[in-house]
Amino acid sequence: MAQHPINLAARFFLEVLALAFFAHWGWESFDGPIHYVTAIGLPVIAATAWAVFAVPGDPSRSGKTVVNTPGSVRLALETVFFIAAVIAASASLSVVMGTVFALAIIVHYAASVDRIRWLLAR
């Protein structure tokens, strides 16, 4: 299962945008020094979980993993990651921004049906 380079680029863009929404939410939601901690800490925690828990041989990634993760668990992790990013965007920017981001995620996953099937088979 190979993915189209444009779809992989879109996936990367969505991942980076999600991290930016986490940082923005962390900054806007707290006052004082804690907003530095949340603006930096939330994206770091999310990116770490994204990188560590992977399905071995996933062609949409390097194929390497730190923690071997079943495909259904990885798909659940991705779902939680992106839903949290949609909520962060909606809460700290606007509902329209969150909605547009959610639609972009849905389009991406619709174009990735082969990967979803692959994950669920693992």
Radius of gyration over every alpha carbon of the chain, rounded to an integer in angstroms: 15
**Domain range enclosing 65:** 5-121
pLDDT of the residue at 26: 96
DSSP bridge partners of 54: 68
Q: How far is CA 35 from CA 29, 43, 92, 118, in A?
A: 7, 13, 13, 39
Would the pLDDT of 60 be above 80? no
The per-residue pLDDT for range 31-41, each reduced to its tens digit, is 999 989 999 99
* Mean per-residue pLDDT, 39-68: 88
Number of domains in the chain: 1
What's the pTM? 0.91
Tokens 């603006």 map to which residue?
39
Which residues lie across from 53 on neighbouring strands?
A: 67
